[in-house]
Structure 1
């Protein structure tokens, strides 16, 4: 099952369209979730006693419109809905416990709840058990390439598994990007042969990380891209012509460019294509 957040915004509609296409490719049912967050209305300046019912009616209307959008885009995809009470971030995390992925808009400014704000995306992507795909609004051309960040941390393997699966489903090229900054030398300067050895070691590490997945997905064309650069900058540049960027939610391997939470958060806010964050 794929869970997608709904709030009536343009960004949420973009997320629904992306999720509907992915549900079709993955042969998964789609669950549309609207979170009724009453907290903003439990203050004195909103005295309307009918407001709670109005909130639910607004949510149900958004869900009905979302179902129609999915049926228009992918008629064969099975769709269910959920109108849940509570903060959007918590509701989406709970709904995502049994999901293969959670899809949300990058920023939602719905007329009532403003549900899928950037902070909600941060909380969901950082804590959800399933992969979380953050989709920006607007149409993008199909470039036929998926980008994945690679490091030597144990947390990188789930991100690679998801990226290879997506590349296989889309018949896309997979660009595996590893970026690092060498530490400042305490005394003297780094010798050329030391820099060359460092690069070779990193290239070997990337090849070793990819090898099990290459065997499992022999038809996926993989480009190994090792760069001396800032991780956020390298991934953002590589994703300019990508359909999807995949990163781990954190990494604590021995390589200094491991994909920490700050990296996944940085690319979500600077990358034009959808970003999948995989724990």
Structure 2
């Protein structure tokens, strides 16, 4: 299967959060010129008929929202996180809601969404249950890792498709400064080095996307706070699967939970 025909797979569970995720996925599939596959992973065989109704209703909502899109629907048995991770191997993108509260509320709880985002082969977008912005920038977290460069490429492509500004955020690599009367002795040196590395990465990533306007921001606050603040009014926040530089352990452990626990906007997690 060619990448152009790989589907956007959205995991649903009947909750409002997953319905919002499905509508977001439909719009994204249209931007990518890709089919949409609506998938409910049912771990309760006694509810198969109800599961079919849930997935059909959500797929029909997507059809009404995006008329010309190719949309398929499926109910599958198994463990939700494991099945979505398995499907990611052949998907263009996997989309999940940040919380599940419907008839199948155990399927897409926050821990499941985080597990899918952490282990999937494809990019994963976690969509919050509240309304999502249709204007505003795409924000990307940058460090010096290979995964960060993959995230930057994804973010450039997302901004280009949306015709939006790209905001590239990098935390200072070696310290978060505590406010007080004394400056850190290496503050200027750290700032200059971080700005230089950020500019180099952005410049390299921008070559295929000459129309995308980029704003660069170097932050001296902890990564989760920096990303959440930058993405407060964003259409999309993009982060790498793992980080080795300015965002240590990016999306492993505390940063994963911090970014995905209450996402300010849809969060794309891009594997390295």
Q: Report if TM-score (shorter chain) is over 0.5.
A: yes
Query: Are 1:34 and 2:43 counterparts?
Result: no
Q: Equivalences for 1:58-207 in 2 at 5 Å?
A: 58-180=50-172, 182-183=174-175, 192=185, 194-207=186-199
Unaligned runs of 5+ in 2: 1-6
Partner of 1:47: none
Kept in 2, the 8 Å contact 1:264–1:277? The answer is no
Distance in 2, Cα, partners of 1:232 & 1:263: 6
Equivalent pair of 2:173/2:190 in contact (CA under 8 Å):
no
Most deviating of 97-106 and 172-181:
172-181
Query: How far off is 1:119 after superposition?
Result: 1.0
Contact 1:240 1:271 in 2 (8 A): no
Root-mean-square deviation (CA, aligned residues, Å) is 1.9
Distance 1:266 1:112, change over 3 A: closer
**Contact in 1 for aligned 2:133/2:265 (Cα 8 Å):** no
Query: Equivalent of 2:232, from 231, 237, 240?
Result: 240
Deviation of 1:113 (Å)? 5.0
Correspondence for 2:28: 22
User: Conserved in 2, the CA contact under 8 Å of 1:105 and 1:137?
Assistant: yes
Distance 1:130 1:161 in 2: 14
Contact in 1 for aligned 2:125/2:268 (Cα 8 Å): yes
Deviation at 1:183, TM superposition (A): 4.0
What count of residue pairs does the alignment treat as equivalent?
A: 260
Report whether the alignment pairs 1:221 with 2:227.
no
Aligned to 1:270: 262
Unaligned runs of 5+ in 1: 39-51
Moved more, 5-14 or 107-116: 107-116
What TM-score do the two structures reach when normalised by structure 2? 0.90
